[in-house]
Amino acid sequence: MRRSRDSAFVTARSSAPTGAGGALLPARDLAAAWSVVVLITVPAWALTIGQAQDMGVEPGTMGMALPLFLVLWVTMMAAMMLPSMAPVALTWVRGIGRQSSGWARTGRTVQFMGGYLLVWTAFGLLAYAALAVSGNLVEDRPTAGRWIGSVAFLLAGLYQLGPLKHVCLRHCRDPLSHLVRYAGYRRPARDLRVGLHHGVYCVGCCAGLMVVLVPLGVMNVAAMAALALVIFLEKLWSRGPLLTRVVGVVFLVLALLAPFQDWLLPGLRGSMPSMGGM
């Protein structure tokens, strides 16, 4: 029956690990789930930091071929996104565990995670193209970096304050109804579709924040950590929507300052002359 099938994925509503969405996991399971998240997130951050130290912060793609960039991008996204999307993902995986066992459970879990990461990989293609274009522009005309940075902050600020961000953030903060909807998806590839669907909303929620990696540097660990914290608070903190608007306003202010403040553009100033030397 539909109701019994849905109940495999929806649990009692008590304290809310995902904002207003209600409790998606009992306290004991939630503690165990967060332990798994830590075990995955910490190595992802370690790999990201190690690679960033080797490469530094430079304009564009830093000479990386597309396959290597996508590997690093997916690792970065796992480090930055997993803590904020974990309650939804783990609730779905827990439902899979109730319905399947052995290799079937493993296969379904891989489908779900594969769908989610596939969306972020596709977004990584767009990120690579944007970084390649900005890097070429800065190489040809170093002073263009200031205006590229200003436009990037402007776009990020407008997106943070726009309707698409609001719709996607609402999904990420209150996913319970979507989990019920996902339970109605038909096989085959139901779990892949769930991963893709949730991944699209996650990308829509974070796209504006990712744009600022162009001026800040795609391998800027401090920027990645700050953005990961913002993403986490936006999705899980009760005042997340207010934080979204505050960050949007901050980005708009940075858009005004970027042409005159080189320190705001570490990812674009590799060969950019200082204002005093102009």
Per-residue confidence (pLDDT) for residue 144, from 0 to 100: 84
Query: Average of pLDDT values for 145-151?
Result: 91
Q: Is 174 in contact with 21 (CB distance < 8 Å)?
A: yes
Q: Is 123 in contact with 200 (CB distance < 8 Å)?
A: no
Query: Average of pLDDT values for 192-218?
Result: 90
Per-residue confidence (pLDDT) for residue 155, from 0 to 100: 96
Closest to 207 measured CA to CA, from 89, 87, 126? 126
The residue ranking higher by pLDDT, 173 or 2, is: 173
Span 47-102, pLDDT tens digits: 888 888 777 777 778 888 899 999 999 999 888 888 887 767 777 666 665 666 56
Span 219-234, pLDDT tens digits: 899 999 999 999 999 9
Closest to 56 measured CA to CA, from 222, 262, 254? 222
pLDDT over 60 (residue 8): no
Q: Mean pLDDT for the chain?
A: 79
pLDDT over 60 (residue 3): no
pLDDT over 50 (residue 202): yes
Query: Average of pLDDT values for 7-31?
Result: 47
Dump strand ranges (E) for the chain: none
Q: Which helix (H) or strand (E) covers residue 129, if one does? A: helix 102-140
Cα torsion angle, 201, 17, 80, 250, sign = positive
Beta-carbon neighbour count of residue 50 at 10 Å?
11
What is the C-alpha to C-alpha distance for residues 187 and 81, in angstroms, rounded to an integer? 27
Cα torsion angle, 216, 220, 221, 224, sign = positive
Span 232-278, pLDDT tens digits: 999 889 899 999 999 999 999 999 999 888 888 888 875 444 444 44
Query: Average of pLDDT values for 6-24?
Result: 42
What is the C-alpha to C-alpha distance for residues 114 and 38, in angstroms, rounded to an integer? 19
Per-residue confidence (pLDDT) for residue 215, from 0 to 100: 92
Q: Is 136 in contact with 61 (CB distance < 8 Å)?
A: no
What is the C-alpha to C-alpha distance for residues 41 and 175, in angstroms, rounded to an integer? 22
Per-residue confidence (pLDDT) for residue 274, from 0 to 100: 42
The residue ranking higher by pLDDT, 21 or 105, is: 105
